[in-house]
Chains A and B, each alone.
Chain A
Amino acid sequence: MLTRSPDRVALTGAVLALVSALMLPAGTLRPNRLAQGDPHSWLAAGAILAVPMLALLLAVFASFLCSRSLRGHVLSSAGVLLIGGIALSLGALSESLMVDAPSIARVSIGSGTWLMLAGAAIVAFSGWQALMGKESASQGTHVRMVYPLATAAFLFAAVAFGGLDTISLAAEYGIRTAVFWPSVIAHLRLAGVSLVLGLAMGVPLGIIAARDARIRRVALGVTGIIQTIPSLAMLGLLIAPLAALSAAYPVLRQLGIRGIGETPAMIALTLYALLPIVRNTYVGLAEVDPAVVDAGRGMGMSRGQLLWRVEMPLALPLVLEGVRAGAVLLVGITAVTALVGARNLGSFIFEGLGQAAPDLILLGALPIIVLAIVADVGLSFIADAVTPKGVRAA
């Protein structure tokens, strides 16, 4: 199939990347990590970027002549190449600026770079979407995974060999290496444990909700209201009762249950995970064809057999979709819980805000974004894999 209609999304991404490359600064050289500095344009970075940039534009236009699946590959490769090109060019720029600068000087990433990355990501993502489309789903998931892996490889190469280790973000990381990885792990653990708790409570609640209209109204109503409470307010609400409990029962304190720290964080996160999981479990079960349930009952299946052999397998894709939504949500909200003393990636953000050090904020924010994307992609992968063959979209 030939599609000559331009892919508007990819085109927008390409134009965004091009305009920001020409108009906006690539990076800023500052005298120290807190001071304002001088912007430097991409022209100062030399021609390294020109090649992938040109390749990208050609690819975007060429893709309009390609079949749908080929277009997906062309756009994905172009986007990934551009991201790699930007990372390498940024490293080169930073290295050249730092040659003449004092050692406390910092090179921060400029707005032009961010917007180019965004543009490149849009191009790559539109290609990825085309690959995820129905017609090309048969090509298998393995091929598609090449692109995220290639992106990661480019970024790694830019840090290890391309001079990207001289930018301010890397310097912030260098200062905090000792706490960075424990924070990543703490972040994942807190979000993960809360998600599992949410799952353990949400799935049974969803099952009951599918059986009983009254419980359904209450369960969906309450979890819906929880979702609307701002996370800071929720944490604040939890501090007082938990503190009182822990004061009244020393046993609890010994177990680590206090008004601040991981306990309120975990409770809040579990509550937030409930809505997507309960709702999707309920919807998944409610959407099972009544004739199918009827046939199962008519053949003499018990309620349990019906639930585990028929209804849950059919509802599973939707349940996992809820888990995915919950996971992405929790990775983000976990950052906020740093405010009540749960040490995680959010701590860098709040420290950075306190010190007015933008690159420290980034040190917390960027990994959170990456974790959220990894959770999103990974879980939709799992959802694909466990969807029963007979109900998978053709």
Chain B
Amino acid sequence: MIHLDGVTKRYGDTVAVDDLTLDVAEGEVCVLIGPSGCGKTTTLRMINRLITPTSGRIMINGQDASELKAEELRRSLGYAIQSVGLFPHLDVAANIAVVPRLLGWDKPRLRGRARELLELVGLEPEQYMGKYPRQLSGGEAQRIGVARALAADPPVLLMDEPFGAVDPLNRGRLQGEFARIQRDLHKTVVFVTHDIDEAIRLADRIAIMRDGRLVQYDTPETILDNPVDHFVRDFVGSDRALKRLVRVPVRDVMDTAPPVARRSAGAKEMLAEVGRTRFVYLVDEQGRLTGWLDRAQLKGGCTVEDALSDADPAQVAVRPDASLKEALSRMLGLGFRSIAVVESDGRLVGQVTLGSVEGAMTESDEHQGARPAEHMAEYSAEDTSDDSVLESIASDDQGDCT
């Protein structure tokens, strides 16, 4: 789909891009990554002809880009620029609709599309449609920039650090969203980032660049397993085992039958369940996570209501399309041995345990011949409560806890 053939760009004495040859197949995500100033933006802008290469050839869909009409080429390549560049005099809806308007869509369709895209990037349409760029935070503006690039549904997307200014929580969510859209739409994407985790998570292939040269161009797995040199090894970092978890979405390893009790069912049932499993998630009538009950919290003289913990799903749960690495770091951060998996509407759909993370690590290490991560064993179940406490509570449901 996109083919760069010995492309070089010189600015006087500086060589911004040096003899770059790169193939991006149709429907593939190619992530360009490398230190600041290594030529990522320059490469992207040569593809849509904002920059003319000093030498070399760029083919798009089998046609020499330099022979296409620049404006038409650009309208078929959605471009999210590094500095966002929203139009200050247009509101958010009009900003998103720029390219469709150039293509002559009618008004209702433009607004419908803007609304759709705002939802996609996680911004409430009614609240944001009429805002002006100066009323947006950096991260919000960046998301509008992404929506704008997607607006006319172009077959190719060029995205220059599209989530650079978004906070980690929303970034993770947007990456999940991006991965999900990509599964359905199969765009051809060239994606620039500084974030190796982001690259590993989203890329079909990663192009690691340095001083304008392509150092390695491979699948994330190959780059993690067989870095071609010290530069790539250092760039990827020492925690390569952990990084592999970035590639694994939670939904692939989650336990879809977690211990669960209805809160409305009453103390008896909750205690019965917790007696069996030591730990139980509590849900409401609609199956939404509202809290949990841990046997370790039960002490003599306490009611169940005192012992259970209320849960804010945004804090203590992950989404099915989050990465396993995210799930692991949330567990470690919270000091949990398992973490709930909830859908966007709050419904509990499963749980991830440290054991399943360990399993996933072992699996991905196996073809490399590495040993399983032994330190994980320390986290295996340790139980501090004993059954007598449980019984004292079961018999004294209304006792008070001081």
- Report A's interface with B, CB cutoff 8 A: 289, 291-302, 305, 310, 313-314, 388-391, 394
Q: In the complex, which residues of chain B have a beta carbon less than 8 angstroms from the beta carbon of A390?
A: 87-91, 132-134
Among candidates A289, A298, A301, A389, residue contacting B102 with C-beta atoms closer than 8 Å: A301
Most B CB within 10 A of own CB, among A293, A295, A300, A301: A300
Task: From known contacts A300-B99, A305-B102, A314-B88, infer whether A295 and B81 are also in contact, taking CB-CB under 8 Å.
Answer: yes
Q: In the complex, which residues of chain A have a beta carbon less than 8 angstroms from the beta carbon of B75?
A: 299-300
Since A295-B79, A300-B70, A301-B71 are in contact, a sample of 17 more A-B pairs with Cβ atoms closer than 8 Å, ordered by chain A residue number, is A289-B88, A295-B86, A295-B145, A298-B45, A299-B79, A299-B98, A299-B148, A300-B74, A300-B102, A305-B102, A310-B89, A314-B88, A314-B89, A389-B91, A390-B88, A390-B132, A390-B134
Q: In the complex, which residues of chain B have a beta carbon less than 8 angstroms from the beta carbon of A297?
A: 50, 74
Does A300 lie within 8 Å of B83, measured CB to CB? no
Q: In the complex, which residues of chain A have a beta carbon less than 8 angstroms from the beta carbon of B79?
A: 295, 298-299
Q: In the complex, which residues of chain B have a beta carbon less than 8 angstroms from the beta carbon of A292?
A: 85-88
Considering the complex of A and B, which 3 residue pairs feature the smallest CB-CB distances, nearest first?
A295-B85, A390-B132, A388-B89
Residue B84 lies at the interface, judged by CB distance under 8 Å to chain A: yes
Residue B239 lies at the interface, judged by CB distance under 8 Å to chain A: no
Q: Mark B45-64, 1 if CB is under 8 A from A, else 0.
A: 10010100000000000000
Chain B interfacial residues counted at CB < 8 A:
28
Residue B383 lies at the interface, judged by CB distance under 8 Å to chain A: no
Residues B99-124 near A (CB distance < 8 A): 99, 102
Q: Mark B184-196, 1 if CB is under 8 A from A, else 0.
A: 0000000000000
Q: In the complex, which residues of chain A have a beta carbon less than 8 angstroms from the beta carbon of B70?
A: 300
In the assembly, what is the distance between CA of A293 and CA of B74, in Å?
Answer: 14
Q: Write 30 A-B pairs (CB below 8 A) sorted by A numbering.
A: A291-B81, A292-B85, A292-B86, A292-B88, A294-B50, A294-B81, A294-B85, A295-B86, A297-B74, A298-B48, A298-B50, A298-B74, A299-B74, A299-B75, A299-B98, A300-B71, A300-B73, A302-B71, A310-B87, A313-B89, A314-B88, A314-B89, A388-B88, A389-B132, A390-B89, A390-B132, A390-B133, A390-B134, A391-B88, A391-B89
In the assembly, what is the distance between CA of A310 and CA of B81, in Å?
Answer: 17
In the assembly, what is the distance between CA of A36 and CA of B106, in Å?
Answer: 76
Residue B72 lies at the interface, judged by CB distance under 8 Å to chain A: yes
How far does the Cβ of A110 sit from chain B's closest Cβ, in whole Å? 52
In the assembly, what is the distance between CA of A313 and CA of B89, in Å?
Answer: 7
In the assembly, what is the distance between CA of A301 and CA of B148, in Å?
Answer: 14
Does B87 lie within 8 Å of A299, measured CB to CB? no
In the assembly, what is the distance between CA of A95 and CA of B276, in Å?
Answer: 109
Residues B135-151 near A (CB distance < 8 A): 145, 148
How far does the Cβ of A272 sit from chain B's closest Cβ, in whole Å? 31
Does A300 lie within 8 Å of B72, measured CB to CB? yes
How far does the Cβ of B275 sit from chain A's closest Cβ, in whole Å? 61
When C-beta atoms are compared, the residue in chain A nearest to B83 turns out to be A291
How far does the Cβ of A288 sit from chain B's closest Cβ, in whole Å? 9
How far does the Cβ of A315 sit from chain B's closest Cβ, in whole Å? 10
Q: In the complex, which residues of chain A have a beta carbon less than 8 angstroms from the beta carbon of B89?
A: 310, 313-314, 388-391
How far does the Cβ of A279 sit from chain B's closest Cβ, in whole Å? 22
How far does the Cβ of B60 sit from chain A's closest Cβ, in whole Å? 14
In the assembly, what is the distance between CA of A247 and CA of B102, in Å?
Answer: 54
Does A299 lie within 8 Å of B88, measured CB to CB? no
Most A CB within 10 A of own CB, among B72, B84, B89: B89
When C-beta atoms are compared, the residue in chain B nearest to A310 turns out to be B87
How far does the Cβ of B268 sit from chain A's closest Cβ, in whole Å? 59
How far does the Cβ of B38 sit from chain A's closest Cβ, in whole Å? 20
How far does the Cβ of A173 sit from chain B's closest Cβ, in whole Å? 47
How far does the Cβ of B153 sit from chain A's closest Cβ, in whole Å? 14
When C-beta atoms are compared, the residue in chain A nearest to B45 turns out to be A298
How far does the Cβ of B389 sit from chain A's closest Cβ, in whole Å? 60
Q: In the complex, which residues of chain B have a beta carbon less than 8 angstroms from the beta carbon of A295?
A: 79, 81, 84-87, 145
When C-beta atoms are compared, the residue in chain A nearest to B89 turns out to be A388
Q: In the complex, which residues of chain A have a beta carbon less than 8 angstroms from the beta carbon of B90?
A: 388, 390
In the assembly, what is the distance between CA of A296 and CA of B74, in Å?
Answer: 10
How far does the Cβ of B330 sit from chain A's closest Cβ, in whole Å? 35
Q: In the complex, which residues of chain A have a beta carbon less than 8 angstroms from the beta carbon of B81?
A: 291, 294-295, 298
Task: From known contacts A301-B102, A302-B71, A389-B132, infer whether A296 and B87 are also in contact, taking CB-CB under 8 Å.
Answer: yes
Q: In the complex, which residues of chain A have a beta carbon less than 8 angstroms from the beta carbon of B134?
A: 390-391, 394
When C-beta atoms are compared, the residue in chain B nearest to A297 turns out to be B50
In the assembly, what is the distance between CA of A298 and CA of B89, in Å?
Answer: 18
Task: From known contacts A299-B148, A390-B132, infer whether A289 and B85 are also in contact, taking CB-CB under 8 Å.
Answer: yes
How far does the Cβ of A319 sit from chain B's closest Cβ, in whole Å? 14
Does A299 lie within 8 Å of B102, measured CB to CB? yes
How far does the Cβ of B250 sit from chain A's closest Cβ, in whole Å? 35
How far does the Cβ of A213 sit from chain B's closest Cβ, in whole Å? 18
Q: In the complex, which residues of chain B have a beta carbon less than 8 angstroms from the beta carbon of A293?
A: 85
In the assembly, what is the distance between CA of A330 and CA of B161, in Å?
Answer: 51
Does A294 lie within 8 Å of B83, measured CB to CB? yes
When C-beta atoms are compared, the residue in chain A nearest to B84 turns out to be A291
How far does the Cβ of B87 sit from chain A's closest Cβ, in whole Å? 6
How far does the Cβ of B46 sit from chain A's closest Cβ, in whole Å? 12
Q: In the complex, which residues of chain A have a beta carbon less than 8 angstroms from the beta carbon of B50?
A: 294, 297-298
Q: In the complex, which residues of chain B have a beta carbon less than 8 angstroms from the beta carbon of A314?
A: 88-89
When C-beta atoms are compared, the residue in chain A nearest to B74 turns out to be A300
Q: Mark B215-250, 1 if CB is under 8 A from A, else 0.
A: 000000000000000000000000000000000000
Among candidates B45, B85, B91, B98, residue contacting A291 with C-beta atoms closer than 8 Å: B85
Q: In the complex, which residues of chain B have a beta carbon less than 8 angstroms from the beta carbon of A310?
A: 87, 89
How far does the Cβ of A285 sit from chain B's closest Cβ, in whole Å? 14
Q: In the complex, which residues of chain B have a beta carbon less than 8 angstroms from the beta carbon of A391?
A: 88-89, 134
In the assembly, what is the distance between CA of A295 and CA of B72, in Å?
Answer: 15
Most A CB within 10 A of own CB, among B79, B85, B132: B85
Q: Mark B15-56, 1 if CB is under 8 A from A, else 0.
A: 000000000000000000000000000000100101000000
How far does the Cβ of A346 sit from chain B's closest Cβ, in whole Å? 41
In the assembly, what is the distance between CA of A302 and CA of B132, in Å?
Answer: 24
Q: In the complex, which residues of chain A have a beta carbon less than 8 angstroms from the beta carbon of B88?
A: 289, 292, 314, 388, 390-391
In the assembly, what is the distance between CA of A294 and CA of B85, in Å?
Answer: 7
In the assembly, what is the distance between CA of A316 and CA of B79, in Å?
Answer: 27
In the assembly, what is the distance between CA of A314 and CA of B45, in Å?
Answer: 25
How far does the Cβ of A295 sit from chain B's closest Cβ, in whole Å? 3
Q: In the complex, which residues of chain A have a beta carbon less than 8 angstroms from the beta carbon of B74?
A: 297-300
In the assembly, what is the distance between CA of A310 and CA of B87, in Å?
Answer: 7
Most B CB within 10 A of own CB, among A291, A292, A313: A292
In the assembly, what is the distance between CA of A391 and CA of B89, in Å?
Answer: 6
In the assembly, what is the distance between CA of A223 and CA of B152, in Å?
Answer: 45
Among candidates A291, A299, A394, residue contacting B99 with C-beta atoms closer than 8 Å: A299
In the assembly, what is the distance between CA of A314 and CA of B90, in Å?
Answer: 10
In the assembly, what is the distance between CA of A298 and CA of B98, in Å?
Answer: 11
In the assembly, what is the distance between CA of A299 and CA of B48, in Å?
Answer: 9
In the assembly, what is the distance between CA of A297 and CA of B102, in Å?
Answer: 12
Q: In the complex, which residues of chain A have a beta carbon less than 8 angstroms from the beta carbon of B71?
A: 300-302
In the assembly, what is the distance between CA of A292 and CA of B73, in Å?
Answer: 19
How far does the Cβ of B45 sit from chain A's closest Cβ, in whole Å? 8
Q: In the complex, which residues of chain B have a beta carbon less than 8 angstroms from the beta carbon of A305?
A: 102
In the assembly, what is the distance between CA of A314 and CA of B134, in Å?
Answer: 14
